[in-house]
A and B are shown apart, each in its own frame.
Chain A
Amino acid sequence: MVPTSHYLILGAILFAIGSFGVIFRRNAITMFMCVEIMLNAVNLTLVAYSRSFNQVDGQIFVIFVMVVAAAEAAVGLALIVLLNKRRGTLDVDQIDTMRW
């Protein structure tokens, strides 16, 4: 059996990669995809703990995360489409109206 720590390390690495992507990428869709990577990293950790504690609740959480991720993808992508329609760009650096 693979020790839990392995999954945790993998989760951390994936989360870090995802977060790096969010900072690094300018394309709104790619950023969104990086967020999805982070969510999956979390899911991985949750399942690992669920197994480790021998409790099913972690898995339930994962289901909820997936549902929320689905909803988020729907709304988020809709926003991106709208954004592209209005501004004609997907580059988040071009979109800085909400500032001081």
Chain B
Amino acid sequence: MLESFWILLLFPLAGAAVNGLCGKRLPHKLIGLIACGAVLASFLVAALAFVELTGRAADDRLVTVSLFTWIEAGEFVSRAAFLFDPLSAVMILIVTGVGFLIHVYSIGYMHGEDGYYRYFSYLNLFIFMMSLLVLGDNFLVMFVGWEGVGLCSYLLIGYYFKERFAGDAAKKAFVVNRVGDFAFLLGLFLIFREFGSITYLDAFQSVQSSYPGMETGFGILSLITLLLFIGATGKSAQTPLYVWLPDAMAGPTPVSALIHAATMVTAGVYMIARCSPLYSRAPETLLIVAVVGAATALLAALIAIGQRDIKKVLAYSTVSQLGYMFVACGVGAYAAGIFHLMTHAFFKALLFLGSGSVILAMHHQQNIFKMGGLKKYLPYTWGVMLVATLAIAGVPGLSGFFSKDEILWQAFSSPQGHPLIWALGVAVAGLTAFYMFRMLFLTFHGQERIEMGHHDDSHGEDDHSHHDAKPQEPGWSVRGPLGVLAVLSVLGGLVGLPAWLASTNQLHHFLEPSFHYQFVPEAHGEHSHALEMGLAGVTTLIGLMGIFVAYTAYLRRPHLPEQVSQRLSGLYRLIRQKFLVDEAYDAVIIRPTHWLSKNVLWKVFDDGVIDGAVNGTATVVQIWAQQLRKIQNGYVRSYATWILLGTALLFAYFSYFAA
């Protein structure tokens, strides 16, 4: 099974093709079955391959399969080849596993929507592209997946394409991603120029031989890694390119869960982990990665506090958590980043899906200030959401605690880390706990402010909804995946227990071979377990404080937030308006470019200068011709005169000058 792991790519592709081409004529049940079956098959293949991989010796855990030569031009060769190693194994399990759960969830969530087949076709295509991304054995195949998931994201964000905002959001996501891809491409070009190959293993080998140690100063390696990282900021929604992700919530909620929380947005983290041999040698870039990650985490957490839309809160929370993962990568703790990626995939998918079932129950009402007290109507959803919220808030014992704590510990102790980054991380942990519980309390607790959504008819689901009905728990296909994810959110942390709890961190151990080429300065020696435990305690404390503040502000004294916001109205408004980043981009980049293109380049330069010159030449010729044609005046005698003059001049020329 291990050697033919690549067949797992075929199932979702086939599913997408079948549903896309003839889904219109298929019954809905069959469509869902095909889509879920395809992903399940992929997951099973991945799991079998994974099991087989663990059976091998640690340094033998690497399989590559080359299907055909894709592009070949001189020394430049890119094969359609795939790589299965611990890193891609973990990733593919997350992708297909969580992906499968969300597919199942979608059957219930999307029930009765227009273009049901279209949705599942896109979703399967996404799984295929994401698999390409994580399984590719060279940068170009990864880039196919990288852009492919972007496309699926575009299609799925724009799923409700009748709404203007959906189209806007979809386009924005694609374009912002393209900005990142621009840098990513330049990074690829540079890799080929420097290392003569875009295959991971060859390129890394070449790096290892030419850079035995770290690069000093900002050199080529730093430039490559920086360019790749800019690509990652686009895909993984980091500063300054995070702006598309909150808007991307225009898509259906399962899509937000799958693409914009669990899998696609983590592609940047995967990419950095995959390129760890490059990043580990470029300390300058690592610093930038860590700082950008920390800054994004803080910024997004602050914005999340002021959001009123349940999905927007989660979106900014995702941006913030991704910041954590980049902090991990930035301090050289790739395994910790992947660990958090995994746990985050569980609890954030759970949160999104939970919010999805709230939204479904509320008939597409997404404003948390119009909910409240939902606990009694949706106890099951409340339960799983609570688990997830506790996990993300970093309450000890749950998955989020272990992964977040490991990142913070690494940020503190790793040679690339710095206490300042750690402090930022801890502050963000507090903020996270606060805004997540704010959301939870406002939604499920407190007084009822229920105001059902007026679901637009065009969404096509309203036939059987009753606006005055009480919110109801959704069906099994929605609740099933929620349960599984809740279990994973609780237990997911066990694969990566910290050193003060277990002798080996299993995930680290497993991922080790993937970072084989990494240049790792192991320097944990001087720090004791006691310090690690102590720091974890501090984080936990801060997190609990955040929960307490949220409890005070939104349950015990509901007027407090209003008072605070009045006291700090400037800051509050700034947070509410998301620091005006979108508006700034609009004013500084988009509008001037548009204005310049329209009024200067097109109207003035193209139509005026160039065409003006062309038409001007024609006009000048025409003016002269107008004058000259007067010679053709119709008088024979005048013509005779001209002929005579011409002949005379010719004779004169020949007898005086030519002779």
Chain A: residues with CB nearer than 8 A to chain B?
Answer: 19, 22-24, 26, 31, 92-93, 95-100
Contact = CB atoms under 8 A, between A and B. Distances in A.
For the residues of B in contact with A, the DSSP-based class is: helix
Nearest to B648: A19
A26 B637 contact: yes
B640 A22 contact: yes
B60 to A, nearest CB: 93
Nearest to B636: A92
Interface string B123-165: 0000000000000000000000000000000000000000000
Nearest to A97: B634
Contact of A93 (B629, B635, B644): B635
A100 B632 contact: yes
Nearest to A19: B644
A22 B217 CA distance: 94
Given A23-B640, A93-B637, A99-B632, 4 more contacts: A23-B644, A99-B633, A99-B634, A100-B629
Nearest to B630: A100
A75 to B, nearest CB: 16
A96 B644 contact: no
Contacts of B634: 95-99
Question: What are the 9 closest A-B residue pairs judged by CB atoms, nearest first?
Answer: A96-B634, A99-B634, A100-B629, A92-B636, A22-B640, A100-B632, A99-B633, A23-B640, A23-B641
Interface string B40-76: 0000000000000000000000000000000000000
Interface string B613-633: 000000000000000011011
A15 B112 CA distance: 103
Nearest to A28: B636
B637 A23 contact: yes
Contacts of B632: 99-100
A97 B637 CA distance: 14
Contact of B637 (A22, A98, A99, A100): A22
Nearest to B626: A100
A92 B639 CA distance: 12
29 contacts: A19-B640, A19-B644, A22-B637, A23-B637, A23-B640, A23-B641, A23-B644, A24-B637, A26-B637, A31-B636, A31-B637, A92-B635, A92-B636, A92-B637, A93-B635, A93-B637, A95-B634, A95-B636, A96-B633, A96-B634, A96-B635, A97-B634, A98-B634, A99-B632, A99-B633, A99-B634, A100-B630, A100-B632, A100-B633
